[in-house]
Amino acid sequence: MACQGLSKGETVSSLRAESENLKAKLEEERSKLHDVELHQVAEKVEALGQFVMKTRRTLKGHGNKVLCMDWCRDKRRIVSSSQDGKVIVWDAYTTNKEHAVTMPCTWVMACAYAPSGCAIACGGLDNKCSVYPLSLDKNENLSAKKKSVAMHTNYLSSCSFTNSDMQLLTSSGDGTCALWDVESGQLLQSFHGHSADVLSLNLAPSETGNTFVSGGCDKKANVWDMRSGQNIQSFETHESDINCVRYYPSGDAFATGSDDATCRLYDLRADREVAIYSKESIIFGASSVDFSLSGRLLFAGYNDYTINVWDVLKGTRVAILFGHENRVSTVRVSPDGTAFCSGSWDNTLRRWAGYSFRFVYCCIWTL
Amino acid sequence: MARDMSDKDILKMEIDQLQKEVKTAREPVSKTAKELCDFVETQSAEDPLIKGVPEDKNPFKEKGGCIIT
C-alpha cells in the first residue's frame, strides 16, 4: 500500500509518540467526566434474589466443537455451526433438527438467522459469508440454493443480518468489517480501523440508529456509523483479545468478553468504560457474552467451561453455571428473554452397539 | 487490509482517529449511570429471568404435552 503525505522527519517512533500523546489527552478528557462509579449509583437499586438456572434442553447432533449460534425471532428456532463444517437449524422446544447443511469448509465460526426466519447466513475458513434460504420442504437440499454474499481475504469471524434479510454485516480475520447487499453480493460499505483480526460484531438495537460495535485482537472495541463507514468511538482498556461484543438493550452501552478473563461495560454517552466484571479466581478468557432482556444480567461463557452470571449494575457475580465439559464458545439469550442457549467444545463420547459416537451439545437454560 | 498496512500507515490511521475522538461530546457518568439504572428498573418487570416465569408459561420447562406447530 502506497504511503501518502509523508512529512519530513516523520518516523514510526515520532508517530508512536504522537499517538501516545493523543491517547493520554483522550483519557484526560474522559476522566474529567468520570465523577462517580456505576456501582455507586447502583447502590439504590434493589438487590437480586437468589439466582438458579438449570439446563432444560440439550440439543445433540454436532460432531465437533460448536462455534456459534443464533436465535430466530420466533423465539424457538436456533441455528448453530461447528468446527466440522455442519450448520444445523433446531426447534429448541422439541430439540428436533429441522435442517442441516454441510459447508465446504471446516471451522464455521459465524452463523446468523435472518429476521424473517426464512434464511440463515454462515461462513468461516472459506473467507466467505453465504446465505441459505430455508425451505419448508425438509427433503430439499439446502446447498442447491446457496448464495455467496460476502468475500473477505481472511476467515469470517462473525455475521449478522441488519434489520431486514437484504443486508448482511460481516467481520473478518482480515481486520475489517463490511456491509453487503444480499441479493447482488455488492459491497456497500467497508469499515477500517482495527489493526488486527476482528472477532465479533453486534448491531445496535434498531431504535438507536444505524451503528454497530466490533471487537478484536487489537484489544479495541470500535463503534461505527453504518452509513458513512466512520469509526465514531473507540475503547482500548482490555489487556487481551476481545472475543465478543454485545449491546446493552437500551443501545447506550455495550459489554465485551476478553481473553484477559474480564468482561467490561462501556457507556457510549460518557464515552468510557464504567464497569469491569472480574474475580481473582477467574483466570480463563471469556469467549461470549449476552444481556438478559432488561440489561440487569450479563451471561458470560468462559474457557474454563463455566458460565458466570453478573449483576451488570452492581458489578457482582450472581451465579456460576456448570453444565459443559469443555470451553463455552457461545452464549445467546432468547429474543423473549425466557432462556439462553450455550454452545461448547464439549465432546462427549458415547458407546452404543459397538460403535463410538462423539456428541457435542448446545444447552438451553432457564429458571 | 490492516494486515497489509505498514506500521506507519496504521499509526497515521490511529492518530487521525484519536484526533477526532478527543473532540467527542461526552456526558458525566453521574448522569449516564443513573440512566442505565433507570432503564433496567423500568424493564425489569418484563425481564423473565428477573421476575420469574410461571411454569405453565415457560415453553422450556416441561417437555411433553401438545405443541401446535
Domain ranges of chain A: 53-354
Minimal C-alpha gap between A82 and chain B (Å): 24
Determine, for residues A269 and B33 on separate chains, whether the beta-carbon distance falls below 8 Å. Answer: no
Minimal C-alpha gap between A147 and chain B (Å): 24
DSSP letters along A20-55, please?
HHHHHHHHHHHHHT--S-HHHHGGGSPPP-----EE
C-alpha–C-alpha distance, residues A178 and A89, integer Å: 25
C-alpha–C-alpha distance, residues A171 and A157, integer Å: 6
What's the pTM? 0.91
Confidence (pLDDT) at A40: 94
The stretch A32-36 carries a mean pLDDT of 92
The stretch A250-255 carries a mean pLDDT of 96
Q: Roughly how many angstroms between the first and final C-alpha of chain A, as a whole number? A: 54
The stretch A313-333 carries a mean pLDDT of 92
Q: Roughly how many angstroms between the first and final C-alpha of chain B, as a whole number? A: 46
H or E element in which residue A208 lies: none
Chain B interface, mutation test: which of A195, A218, A223, most B Cβ atoms within 10 Å?
A: A195
CATH pick for A53-354 out of 3.40.50.410, 2.40.50.140, 3.40.640.10, 2.130.10.10: 2.130.10.10
B window 32-51, beta carbon within 8 A of A: 32-37, 39-41, 43-44, 46-50
State CA A55 to chain mean position distance. Answer: 22
A349 or A50, greater pLDDT: A50
Q: Is B53 on the interface with A (CB under 8 A)?
A: yes
Does the predicted interface ipTM exceed a cut of 0.90?
A: no
Q: Scanning the structure block, which residue is given the C-alpha cell 505498514?
A: B6
A window 109-148, beta carbon within 8 A of B: none
Asked if residues B3 and A1 have their Cβ atoms less than 8 Å apart, the reply is no
pLDDT at A200 over 70: yes
pLDDT at A367 over 90: no
Strands of A167-172's sheet, edge to edge? A156-161, A167-172, A177-181, A187-191
Confidence (pLDDT) at A63: 80
Residue A110 pairs with which residues in a beta bridge? A123
Residue in chain B lying closest to A18 (CA) = B15
**A239: exposed, middle or buried (Cβ count in 10 Å: 0-12, 13-18, 19+):** exposed
Confidence (pLDDT) at A345: 87
Confidence (pLDDT) at B10: 82
Output the 3-class SS for A136-203.
CCCCCCHHHHCEEEEECCCCEEEEEECCCCCEEEEEECCCCEEEEECCCCCEEEEECCCCCCEEEEEE
Q: How many CB atoms lie within 10 A of CB A14?
A: 12
For residues A218, A219, A220 and A221, what is the CA-based torsion angle, rounded to 10 degrees? 130
